[in-house]
Chains A and B, each alone.
Chain A
Amino acid sequence: MDFATFASQFLIGLSRGMIFFIVSAGLTLVFGVLRVSNFAHGSLYMLGAFLAYTAILWLGQGEAGFWLALLIAPLAVAVIALVIERGLLRFIYKREHLMQMLLTYSLVLIFGDLVKMVWGSDYKSLPVPQALTGSFHFLEANLPVYNAFLLLIGPLVALGLWFFLFRTHLGKLCRATAADREMVDVLGQNSTWIFALVFALGGWLAGLGGALIAPTVNIAMGMDANIIIYAFLIVVVGGLGNVWGALISSLIMGVGESLGVLFIPDFAIILPYLIAGVLLIIRPSGLLRSAW
């Protein structure tokens, strides 16, 4: 195997890692602030992909279609998330974790059927937008432009999240709410809206991940189960509730999966779990500190 193959496989893995990060950042945020492990997060990701598909059908496959879909689909998912939080989740915050699991798991089943009813059970696919087709060549390595685009978006999302959480009043409130919700209320701030906002933000991130992955995969049922397992692994390995931990472990997982295909194709499918296992043996409470 030559360096070029290795380098391009590495970069593709890294770009997969960016998608993992965008999705799991939402999951870990929700866990950190609301203390809810949202199984339906993968369903929101799947919805993001399907909604992007539908948006592009409506808007046409022109250049603007993709970008508009990238804007609309995650926002639509955020609205759905908001409805879930206000309509269902808020009633079970004080109940035991099992109730939360049951509720969010039931949402997985409901959204699964809903997707089947609306979009049918056959694969959908989207073309990569014109501006992002083709591939880069350097040092004999090959990288599709779309993956390079993902490599750009990932850090942008991370930067945006950092700015939101550490530089805006609302973001500081989110971090305070993660630490002590009741105290936020005692200080006269509205933690109820922070919960709603964070859940919607989590939904937006899941939807964004789904919309971004849509042109590179078969959009189909089962996307939800695939991503949610990875996302939970990433969140646990990164340190529950820690966005930066999720970033690091996402990249490790993405690259690990990608290089696994290259070096040990027979075992590639179990490699991410193996990596997660080893990392958890080394650092049982996650790579970075839990919560903020």
Chain B
Amino acid sequence: MLDVQNIHTYYGLSHVLFGVSLVVKEGEAVALLGRNGVGKTTTLTSIIGLTPPRQGHILFRRQSLNKVPTRRMVDLGICFVPDSRRIFPDLTVRENLEVAQGARSKGEWTLKRVYAWFPVLEKYAKRRGGNLSGGEQQMLAIGRALLGNPKLLILDEPTEGLAPLVVKELEDQIFKLKREGMSILLAEQNLKSALKIADRCYILEKGQVRYEGPAANLQENDDIRAKYLLV
């Protein structure tokens, strides 16, 4: 479904990704692991065109994404939830969702379905987005992305900085999305979270993929974990 081939991405003069390749198959959940600053976020923003790669190719369902502007990604079926959530703070919860809904969206994800999925969003529909707790904001960010009717949902550290109970709830919801057949690519620092959701993992270090394999293997491989993940 998604085929990232040997991409190099720069921020101005600094070279951040050194030939990252990865694949997400239809219906698969893939985790991108690695410590802070190894290029997880940049890989994701390269895919959706916020930091377009200078070299390499990105294909989505055999179509090249290289020259596609970010705003067209939703039409293609790729929705992105950034790590800082980026809720519009002065819009109400409902307005945050409405903005994502667009005039022409006629998919299976409706406001009603998002409310059913995250009841807390309906409860606080009239609150300012900026007044929600971190967990609620994350749910809003995911709900907002779902309204784009993604085929591939890209999540950047969805459980970062949240309380354990909230983390568990979000993991369950993301897993549920995967069970419904949605393809998911997520960046994670939290190995436990990633292993719960993902089928396969990639480990990044210094802008390169250092390990690739089924999530289950990683669980037993203490070497790899010590080398690339433990702080």
Interface residues of A (CB under 8 A from B): 169, 172-173, 175-176, 179-180, 182-192, 291-292
B70 CB-CB contact with A under 8 Å:
yes
- Determine the chain A residues whose CB is within 8 A of the CB of B82 once the complex forms: 183, 186
Given A179-B89, A191-B71, 10 more contacts at CB 8 Å? A169-B103, A173-B99, A175-B95, A182-B70, A185-B70, A186-B82, A187-B99, A188-B73, A188-B79, A188-B102
Chain B residues with Cβ below 8 Å from A179 are 88-91
Convert B71-109 into 0s and 1s, putting 1 for each residue whose CB lies closer than 8 angstroms to a CB of A: 111110001101000101111000110111011000000
A selection of 5 A-B contacts at a CB cut-off of 8 Å is A175-B91, A182-B70, A183-B86, A186-B50, A188-B100
Q: Give the shortest distance, in Å, between B148 (CB) and chain A (any CB).
A: 5
Task: Quote the shortest CB–CB distance from A181 to chain B (angstroms).
Answer: 10
Chain A residue at minimum C-beta to C-beta distance from B49: A185
- CB-CB under 8 A from A185, the residues of chain B are 69-71
Complex formed: what's the CA distance from A173 to B100 in Å? 9
Rounded to whole Å, the gap between the CB of A197 and the closest CB of chain B is: 14
B contact set with A: CB distance below 8 Å = 48, 50, 69-75, 79-80, 82, 86, 88-91, 95-96, 98-100, 102-103, 144-145, 148
**B-chain residues with CB within 8 Å of residue A186 when the two chains form the complex:** 48, 50, 70-71, 73, 80, 82, 86
Q: Nearest A residue to B150 by beta-carbon distance?
A: A188
Distance A149 CA – B203 CA, assembled complex (angstroms): 69
Query: In the bound complex, do residue A172 and residue B71 qualify as a contact, i.e. CB atoms below 8 Å apart?
Result: no
> How distant is B42 from chain A, measured CB to nearest CB, in Å?
15
Instruction: Determine if B103 and A175 form an interchain contact, defined as CB atoms under 8 angstroms apart.
Output: no
Among residues of A, the one whose C-beta sits closest to the C-beta of B74 is: A188
Bound together, the chains give a CA A155 to CA B103 distance in angstroms of 29
Nearest-neighbour CB distance to chain A for B104, whole angstroms, equals: 10
Cβ of B141 to closest chain A Cβ, rounded Å? 9
Please state if B91 and A188 are interface contacts (CB–CB under 8 Å). Answer: no
Query: Which residues from chain B contact A292 at a C-beta distance below 8 Å?
Result: 90-91
Residue among A175, A179, A184 with the highest chain B CB neighbour number at 10 A: A179
Report A-chain residues with C-beta under 8 Å of the C-beta of B80.
186
Closest Cβ–Cβ distance, residue B230 to chain A (whole Å): 32
Which residues does chain B contribute within 8 Å of A190, judged by CB atoms? 71
Which A residues lie within 8 Å of B145 (CB)?
A: 187
* Shortest 8 CB-CB contacts between residues of A and residues of B: A188-B74, A185-B71, A292-B90, A187-B100, A179-B88, A185-B70, A183-B86, A176-B99
Residues of A within 8 A of B71 (CB): 184-186, 188-192
Q: Report the bound CA distance from A6 to B201 in whole Å.
A: 77
Contact yes or no, A182 B88, CB < 8 A: no
